[in-house]
Amino acid sequence: MQTSTGDVQRYERFGKFHFTVDGQEVELTIYRNEHGFFLPFVDSLAGRETYPAGRYLEPEPLMGGRFFVDFNLAYNPYCAYNEMWSCPITPAENRLKVPVRAGEKLFHE
């Protein structure tokens, strides 16, 4: 994945996470690297209510190839607070056209 500072971080596509928001079926790709599982996403509120470049989650693996994903735990990347951080940019496949009204919202100084 390209980062906010122009670097590249390596992740592998691990699987797809399917769910429903306001009656609309959507999916996000879960990624994995040596640090664990990673779920970056951008929702339709980006730039107005949520950080424009997206938010992050760390899905918790469960038995049977399933994951626990709690959008209440969605957080802004460090680069939302300091542009010196190198943050992965959310891939196009994880840009939702629906709002995710949970988790951390837009940071205002």
Q: Could you write out the three-class secondary structure of 64-106?
A: HHCEECCHHHCECCHHHCCCCCCCECCCHHHECCCCCCCCCCC
- pTM comes to 0.91
Q: What is the amino acid identity at position 106?
A: L
- What is the C-alpha to C-alpha distance for residues 50 and 46, in angstroms, rounded to an integer? 5
pLDDT score of 13: 96
Write the pLDDT tens digit of every residue in 54-77.
Answer: 999 999 999 998 999 999 999 999
- What is the C-alpha to C-alpha distance for residues 31 and 52, in angstroms, rounded to an integer? 20
- Please work out, in degrees rounded to the nearest 5, the angle formed at the alpha carbon of residue 13 by the alpha carbons of 10 and 19: 135
Residues 75, 55 contacting (CB under 8 angstroms) = yes
